């Protein structure tokens, strides 16, 4: 009997302890704050969370220990989805998207990324946002993520998202000509330094012509143009008004380095320069009547001279023409269409037209009796 009695008391004690434990657990559990692992939580924050998030979303918030520091401002907006919090944070950090627009854009971004990519969605989102490609990605159905680096290159010429449409069109045309992706990228990497959005578009109007060379760098002093070398409506960036020099009309321009070399040359020419007239200098694309886009007067470093008193066709026999042929190279100018070079330049001898190429190149052309075409061919072969 004693053993049974002792056993009964033992069970009573165990039951009592168990009941006390359960009671304590109930009390503690009732007082447990499930939000304690969330940074910056307080009564106001808790109220917002409980008001705008479902119980299930609250659990997701807690389980993932999501910081609410930035998200609290966006929870009240329609469509807020705590599961998209990483993308909201990316947009918040960018600073361009705010209020309900941030929630709308964030949700749209998540949906499109999930539809188009199986992995790395967050990394892709960060790239799009940090490189200001997001609006184009969301707006343009033809946005190709593989071309993202090319978009970045081209978009600096644009105020809106039309760069996507234009690049896809340009890419398609150049690819049909056999250009590889790397070559296309390099072309636009260079061309966007010298062309505007409009002038690049004009340049690309000849892209489908297999016989036309699209000049990506029209600023080269040694560039030669012909009926298959096209620069579209390119405008040199450093044109200056020709002043203090006799010219056929007031409003004439040259690239700055060519103009400064011209002033020095005419000063050293002495009294002979009194009868020398600048007949033609830079001619813009819209004003060029002779093969616009293919004419070297559009480059800003080509110049045509004439005599104040002699007829145009008599200039070659003038003292001024003789002096220029003998000395212009010292100042960086070369006669563009020299004697006995017609078969190479496709242009007969012309005493009027000079090109500024810089002193170094001009000296080499003079010493070797070369035309610009011969010089360029020689240097191309060295590469």
**Assigned domain for 222 exists:** no
Could you read off the pLDDT of 200-247 as tens digits, one per residue?
A: 999 999 999 999 999 999 999 999 998 899 999 999 999 999 999 999
Q: Which of 130, 155, 181 is the last residue of a domain?
A: 130
Residue 326: pLDDT band by 50, 70, 90 thresholds? Answer: very high
Higher pLDDT, 29 or 201: 201
Q: How many residues does the chain have?
A: 383
- Examine the domain organization and report whether 75 and 117 are in the same domain: yes
Long-range contacts of 98-105 (CB under 8 A, 24+ apart): 99/74, 102/74, 102/77, 103/74, 103/77, 103/78, 103/79, 104/79, 105/134, 105/138
- Examine the domain organization and report whether 289 and 182 are in the same domain: no
**Assigned domain for 182 exists:** yes
- Examine the domain organization and report whether 155 and 111 are in the same domain: no
Q: Which residues pair with 302 in a beta bridge?
A: 355
- Examine the domain organization and report whether 168 and 279 are in the same domain: no
Residue 22: pLDDT band by 50, 70, 90 thresholds? Answer: low
Query: What average pLDDT does this structure show over 32-47?
Result: 68
Please state, in angstroms and rounded to a whole number, the distance separating the CA atoms of residues 383 and 378: 9
**Assigned domain for 154 exists:** yes
Tally of domains within the chain:
3
Q: Is the pLDDT of residue 305 over 50?
A: yes
**Assigned domain for 231 exists:** no
Residue 312: pLDDT band by 50, 70, 90 thresholds? Answer: confident
- Examine the domain organization and report whether 181 and 115 are in the same domain: no
**Assigned domain for 212 exists:** no
What does residue 55 show for φ and ψ, rounded to 5 degrees? -60, -40
Which strands, in side-by-side order, build the sheet including 333-337?
276-280, 302-307, 350-356, 333-337
- Examine the domain organization and report whether 372 and 244 are in the same domain: yes
Predicted local confidence at residue 54, as pLDDT = 93
Q: Is the pLDDT of residue 141 over 60?
A: yes
pTM > 0.75: yes or no: yes
Could you read off the pLDDT of 79-119 as tens digits, one per residue?
A: 999 999 999 999 999 999 999 999 999 999 999 999 999 99
Predicted local confidence at residue 3, as pLDDT = 56
Predicted local confidence at residue 267, as pLDDT = 97
**Assigned domain for 76 exists:** yes
- Examine the domain organization and report whether 377 and 276 are in the same domain: yes
Lowest mean pLDDT among 39-53, 98-112, 243-257: 39-53
Predicted local confidence at residue 66, as pLDDT = 87
Range of the domain at 84: 34-130
**Assigned domain for 204 exists:** no
CATH number, domain containing residue 241: 3.30.1380.10
Could you read off the pLDDT of 146-176 as tens digits, one per residue?
A: 999 999 999 999 999 999 999 999 999 999 9
Please state, in angstroms and rounded to a whole number, the distance separating the CA atoms of residues 349 and 342: 7
- Examine the domain organization and report whether 159 and 268 are in the same domain: no
- Examine the domain organization and report whether 374 and 245 are in the same domain: yes
Radius of gyration of the chain (CA): 37
- Examine the domain organization and report whether 365 and 311 are in the same domain: yes
- Examine the domain organization and report whether 98 and 163 are in the same domain: no
- Examine the domain organization and report whether 264 and 322 are in the same domain: yes
Residue 32: pLDDT band by 50, 70, 90 thresholds? Answer: very low
Long-range contacts of 120-126 (CB under 8 A, 24+ apart): 122/86, 122/87, 122/90, 125/87, 125/90, 126/90
Residue 183: pLDDT band by 50, 70, 90 thresholds? Answer: very high
Q: Is the pLDDT of residue 193 over 70?
A: yes
Q: Which of 102, 130, 158 is the last residue of a domain?
A: 130
**Assigned domain for 103 exists:** yes
């Amino acid at each position: 009997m004693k053993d049974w009695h002792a056993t009964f008391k033992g069970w009573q004690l165990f039951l009592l302890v168990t009941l006390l434990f359960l009671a304590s657990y109930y009390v503690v559990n009732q007082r447990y704050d499930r939000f304690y692992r969330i940074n910056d939580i307080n009564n106001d924050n808790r109220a917002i969370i409980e008001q705008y998030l479902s119980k299930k979303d609250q659990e997701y918030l807690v389980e993932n220990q999501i910081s609410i520091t930035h998200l609290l401002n966006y929870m009240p907006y329609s469509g807020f989805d705590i599961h998209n919090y990483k993308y909201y944070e990316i947009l918040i950090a960018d600073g361009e998207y705010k209020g309900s627009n941030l929630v709308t854009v964030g949700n749209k971004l998540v949906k499109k990324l999930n539809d188009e990519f199986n992995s790395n969605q967050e990394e892709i989102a960060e790239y799009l946002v940090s490189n200001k490609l997001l609006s184009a990605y969301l707006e343009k159905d033809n946005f190709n993520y593989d071309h993202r680096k090319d978009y970045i290159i081209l978009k600096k010429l644009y105020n809106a998202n039309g760069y996507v449409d234009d690049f896809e069109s340009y890419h398609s045309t150049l690819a049909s000509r056999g250009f590889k992706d790397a070559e296309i990228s390099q072309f636009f990497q260079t061309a966007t330094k010298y062309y505007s959005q409009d002038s690049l578009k004009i340049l690309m109007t000849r892209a489908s012509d297999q016989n036309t060379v699209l000049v990506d760098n029209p600023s080269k002093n040694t560039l030669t143009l012909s009926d298959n070398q096209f620069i579209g409506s390119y405008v040199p960036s450093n044109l200056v008004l020709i002043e203090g020099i006799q010219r056929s009309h007031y409003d004439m321009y040259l690239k700055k380095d060519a103009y400064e070399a011209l002033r020095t040359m005419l000063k050293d020419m002495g009294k002979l320069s009194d009868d020398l007239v600048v007949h033609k200098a830079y001619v813009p694309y819209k004003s060029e009547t002779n093969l616009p886009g293919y004419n070297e007067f559009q480059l800003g470093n080509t110049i045509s001279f004439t005599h104040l008193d002699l007829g145009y066709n008599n200039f070659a026999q003038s003292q001024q023409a003789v002096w220029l042929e003998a000395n212009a190279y010292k100042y960086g100018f070369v006669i563009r269409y020299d004697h006995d070079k017609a078969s190479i330049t496709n242009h007969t001898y012309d005493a009027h037209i000079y090109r500024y190429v810089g002193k170094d190149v001009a000296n080499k052309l003079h010493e070797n009796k070369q035309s610009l075409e011969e010089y360029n061919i020689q240097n191309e072969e060295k590469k």
